[in-house]
Structure 1
């Protein structure tokens, strides 16, 4: 039986007129937030946990499985894995926060300059950014930490410099779109200068895009720091880091897999959680911008 357009039209109109339901905050946001909060608690409470020092060696407990004495077991030298995991989280958190912050500040500044001004400033900035993007990031960080020395400051600095081009590209792309918006033109008409327009009109309106990307970069920095520590040019011993724990545990992967797999699993969950939170924030920002357009 054919159905007439008149019978379909009211239902179609009603469906179109019905308000869209806001997406609920599901487990894909709650669970990552809980894990990130747990890592933050470990970072703060690492010195107060009822476990041995991360550098204390108990050779009688070498490669011990999880037990009451060692909740997550012990490594090849009898050091408590939970204690080293908590103190290693400090390294990951410091690097994953400080390095993107360096890239965010300098990348945003250079991106704004390249979007506002043409000629030599734009060509110089874009040329340097293209050269940095063409060079393998991990090789750059590896070379810089080798030359400067494997310290927490140098690792953070190397990874921060590595993230500048990406932030600059995102800042420039957002600024170019916003330059032709009505509020920017109105500010120009009122006599506002370039610095005022940059930091009072453009920057606040692209802040969410930069913050969303910063969450993704944080997860990348955790993996990059772990890679440097795995290669032996990250944080030097006796300071524990997740990458060095994985590197040390690979020697006994067959007879004591927990020594390597536990820090690897912690790194995996942290990176996954940050990516999921960043994706959720991006979707929320896009939905809000779509509602305002």
Structure 2
């Protein structure tokens, strides 16, 4: 391909972009004739680079989407070279997303190796974070496994840069929600292992709170339960929330652990998380358990009462129960 790559859709896009640049007040006699142009990958990259710097939000969004669409059928050589050489983090992220799109469309995850290498080894933390974000919204956990797990989120979460750690968490949360809709065991267990590997309690807590646990296995439930004894209250609360979402086969043990946490905990926020976990695990069947906890922490008895009232409504969808409970407590 080299610089001979062409696409009719890209030529149309360039014509449309040129039209947008015409002054709105120009008369027909002043209009600049639209010229047919030849589009190479280098031209596409130049347009992307310029547009990301000076284009409107809508135009930037268009450019990002277009290069991803073009990458589906583009021979990957130039794209890989660009990922290896790019120094602008915003452009690198866009190129990484395009390369990830190509990998998903062709089922050739080996092309992601240069991006994964930069995510872990680039000297610039902004570039490392951009390389990680390039994988967002894709099946990145599976892709890492297919590349031999030479680079994993469990390793990337230890990066000294907060921006990289935030990118890791953002990737896992979004992949859980948009790629698997909370139904992938491997993704969920990777998120737990990544949280446990983290030295940043806030990032670990975010993973435990926001990634679905509905498919995790017994060993992962054990790992989450162990975090109820963390010295960090935010992490204890997040672990309690995570236990509330484990599979039904694990609910008895999880409920017992949460009851013990509530009885022994001193932090009100952690106790509230424990109550929520108990309610979520059992729904209406949790009523006796919740009632048994009245008086343990008298200041939180109104919280228990709110859960009891919400659960007595017989709602079977957790989001509706949670919404009703929050309405009662207002």
Establish whether TM, by shorter chain, passes 0.5: no
- Greater relative contact order (CA < 8 Å, ≥ 6 in sequence): 1
Which band: TM-score by shorter chain? under 0.3
With structure 1 as the length reference, what TM-score do the two structures score? 0.25
